[in-house]
Amino acid sequence: MRSLHRTGTALVRDSSLIWLAGGIVGVSFGAVSVAGGLPVWVPVLMSLVVYAGSAQFSAVGVLLAGGGPLAAAATGLLLNTRTAAFGLAVADLLGPGRATRLLGAHLVTDETVAFALAQPDPARRRAAFWISGLGLFAAWNTGVAAGALAGTALGDTARYGLDAAFPAVLVALVLPVLRSAPGVRRAALLGAAIALAVTPAVPAGVPVLLSLCALVVVRR
């Protein structure tokens, strides 16, 4: 029992920095959404039901740029398809029961999966997944609610650099792969070039979708 208590305490301590970072990014998401013209309930409800940080930033960014709901949803869904592979990686950590597995699937994020898989044994990985996942979910939604409520009071969020949170999240996600995989790096450069080239001619959100054509470089 004492060993389990020490393990739990250590995992909470190690997870706390992830929770703090998630809460800060959540504040920026809520503030940017509301300052951009969305009602408070939209980012709050999205964070509870969708719970996909970078995909949420992407969808809201498309909406605020004038893109339609379909383009926003498609961009967010495509960005979040990576969680399908993450779910397979931690499937054995979720435990039995349909309700438990459904909740566990909702908690799958880049940070939670990486933290869990870094643990040395199955029992510790399972504990790490649930501790980090539940804590990050609470921190993210608390931050989003706080940011949304403060959004109108903050005024222009660009003054505080909050609008840079989404690009920073994306860079953090892709940088390790870009460093280690030349094929992915070439595809990313080509995709960026495609997106920049078509931006003046197509609606917001569509350049991101068209940039996926660069994936043919990776396949070749």
- Tell me the pLDDT tens digit for each residue of 90-134: 778 877 788 888 888 888 887 888 788 878 788 888 888 898 889
The overall average pLDDT reported for the chain is 78
CA 6 to CA 81: how far, in whole Å? 36
Residue whose C-alpha is closest to residue 51's, from 111, 118, 92, 98? 111
Res. 191: pLDDT tops 80: yes
Among residues of the chain, what percentage have pLDDT more than 70? 81
**For residues 209 and 195, what is the distance between their CA atoms, to the nearest angstrom?**
8
Looking at residue 141, its pLDDT comes to 94
Residue type at 40 in one-letter notation? V
3-state helix, strand, coil in the chain (%, to 5): 80, 0, 20
At residue 139, the pLDDT reads 93
Nearest to 204 by CA among 111, 84, 70: 70
Tens digits of residue pLDDT in 160-174? 665 565 566 556 656
Q: Indicate whether 138 pLDDT > 90.
A: yes
Higher pLDDT, 88 or 122: 122
Q: Is 202 left (phi over 0), alpha (psi -120 to 50) or beta?
A: beta
CA–CA separation, 22 and 107 (whole Å): 13
